[in-house]
Amino acid sequence: MSQTIATALTSAIEKFDNKVFIEDGDLSLTFRDTEQLCHQAAATLIGRGFALGDRAAIWAPNITEWVLAALAIHCAGGAVVPINSRFKGLEATDILAASGAKWLFCIGDFLNTDYPSQIDRSQLNQLQGTVVLQGGSQAPHSAWLDWLAEGKERLQVAPEQVKQRIALVTGEHCSDIIFTSGTTGKAKGVITTHQQNLRTFTIWSDLVGLDESDRYLIINPFFHSFGYKAGILACLIKGCTLLPQLVFDVDQVLERIAADKVTMLPGPPTLYQSLLAHPNLNDYDLSSLTKATTGAAVIPTELIDNIRSRLGITTVLTAYGLSESCGLATMCRHGDPSATIASTSGRAIPGIEVACLDSDGRHCDADEIGEIVIRGFNVMQSYLDNPEATAESIDSAGWLHSGDIGSLDSDGNLKITDRMKDMYISGGFNCYPAEIESNLNRHPSIVMSAVIGIQETLMGEVGAAFMQSADPQLNADLMYQWCRANMANYKVPKHFIFVDSLPLNATGKIHKPTLREIWSQSQSSNV
């Protein structure tokens, strides 16, 4: 039997005995405790008719129950469908419908929002029910603690039945479907397997130097490839103690590092910049910190040096990947100089190839710019129910076309020089204008919209939305409130510009270079 995420949990018990796996406030769970709870939850899934290969979604922030639900789904032979915890009901419903998820595990009433009540169940005939992991809800649901007991007590599912289901799962089975936004505006579900993810993040963990002594503060959201795979799976593989962080708060993170003796602290560059900028940084004992990984943006060399000198972190590494490559393709190594770590994303991980291709499909020479392509065991199986998009992304030679632009130096280090067309990064999150435009166009008064990313100091980049409106009373404030109610906060444009018409090119497509000129001119006139 090939290893799966469920059998990796059993292996962790054999390797690390009763070592603590999860610490969350007053809660402390060993690997053995975790397996017991996951098997209980899996028993209920099986008793409710959840079949091998079925899918279940998780819509919640970084809480212990997220980890338990994900592992339970794997133990029941299913695929995990993470949903961005920042998504509104409309967006979450779209993912649930596209994935065909049979069950939804989610937070209840959280931050004054009743999450289950936001779901449009009229569009979800396949959804059998909702399990609320924490808190209550006005919507019909099962409570997590009741769910844990139901399989054994009411449905009479024996522990042996769970073990039998686990034994049916192979490394080639789908482990998760992570939906990634794209330039078409329609989210695409990336299918990867147990074997792919375990192999990828065993390599990542080895390169980082993780081991069972590490106490890993996971701030990256669990719904993201990094939080889920480089976080939960890495801790499972290496026996680290997992410390979930609900939200990023500078004071709280500094306090946790000191109190919980955190050794591993990954995150985007903005995380470290926030820590370094804290006025009372020197008042906190950060001596336990030894490891950090970052990426997702250009990093000043000074930041790498400051992470080492002021935060005391000896291991600082950068990496590059995308959901379609299991979240990882290249990585720096121990001993790389600060300039290499800051200016590149390192070299291809063992077992895969990374190249840059010019417009004719020719392999670029060293330092020559082209499209970044990836080939190897970590390339996704396909996009869910989308063979056309799959064929566009993976060519006949097996190369995954990232849509990112970069170059490889003579040592094979990858430098990202540009991103996918039109995409911008706001607050560390990838923002795809076509997806945001699609949401804007759902407003009853919006005739047409176009979004561009513009540079701002604080957030790096923010969105500027140009819109034609059928309602002369609609203004920027009203549009902003509507967006806040209907899409994730990071997607909400900062600027709303109402225009009589949008500039079109000869083929009838919106000409965004003209919009950038309009924006620049408007800013110049305001100076």
pLDDT digits (tens, 9 = 90+) for 488-508: 999 999 999 999 988 876 555
Question: What tokens were used for 249?
Answer: 């708060």
Q: How far is CA 195 from CA 5, 174, 378, in A?
A: 8, 9, 9
The CATH architecture assigned to 424-526 reads: 2-Layer Sandwich (3.30)
Per-residue pLDDT, 527:
52
3-state secondary structure of 225: helix
Alpha helices in 17-75 (DSSP H): 31-47, 64-75
Contacts of residue 332, defined as CB under 8 A and 6 or more positions apart, other chains included, come to: 317, 318, 319, 340, 341, 344, 345, 346, 347, 413
Which segment of 43-57, 284-298, 322-336, 420-434 scores lowest on mean pLDDT?
420-434
3-state secondary structure of 194: helix
Q: How far is CA 476 from CA 67, 412, 489, 495, in A?
A: 40, 47, 16, 8
Per-residue pLDDT, 403:
87
56 beta partners:
80, 103
CATH of domain 248-418: 3.40.50.12780
d(CA 66, CA 42): 14
Start-to-end CA distance of the chain, whole Å, equals 67
Name residue, tokens 């801790």: 235
Q: Is 138's pLDDT higher than 90? A: yes
Question: Once rounded to an integer, what is the mean pLDDT over residues 334-338?
Answer: 91
Q: Is 183's pLDDT higher than 60? A: no
Q: Is 322's pLDDT higher than 80? A: yes
| CA-based nearest residue to 78, from 95, 94, 101 | 101
Instruction: Report the C-alpha dihedral over residues 326, 331, 333, 336, rounded to 10 degrees.
Output: -170
DSSP assignment letter at 85:
T
Class of the CATH-defined domain 5-14+30-187? alpha beta
Q: CATH 3.30.300.30 occupies which residues in the chain?
A: 424-526
| CA-based nearest residue to 115, from 144, 94, 86, 142 | 86
Question: Once rounded to an integer, what is the mean pLDDT over residues 315-321?
Answer: 93
Contacts of residue 191, defined as CB under 8 A and 6 or more positions apart, other chains included, come to: 79, 174, 177, 380, 381, 382, 383, 384
Alpha helices in 219-358 (DSSP H): 225, 234-238, 250-260, 269-276, 301-309, 338-343
Per-residue pLDDT, 275:
92
Mean pLDDT over the full length of the chain: 92
Count how many Cα atoms sit within 13 Å of the Cα of residue 170 in the half-sphere of its side chain. 3
Q: Is 297's pLDDT higher than 70? A: no
Question: Once rounded to an integer, what is the mean pLDDT over residues 100-128?
Answer: 96
**H or E element: which one contains 416?**
strand 414-418
Q: What angle do CA 236, 127, 189 make, to 5 degrees?
A: 55
**H or E element: which one contains 315?**
strand 315-320
Q: Is 185's pLDDT higher than 70? A: no
Question: What tokens were used for 510?
Answer: 């919106």
Name residue, tokens 């590490």: 214
Per-residue pLDDT, 1:
52
Question: With bands split at pLDDT 50, 70 and 90, how would you rate the model's confidence at 221?
Answer: very high
Orientation of helix 5-16 relative to helix 31-47, angle to 10°: 150
Q: CATH 3.40.50.12780 occupies which residues in the chain?
A: 248-418
Per-residue pLDDT, 458:
58
**H or E element: which one contains 452?**
strand 446-456
Q: Is 383's pLDDT higher than 80? A: yes
| CA-based nearest residue to 446, from 435, 433, 437 | 437
Q: Is 184's pLDDT higher than 70? A: no
| CA-based nearest residue to 241, from 16, 458, 7 | 16
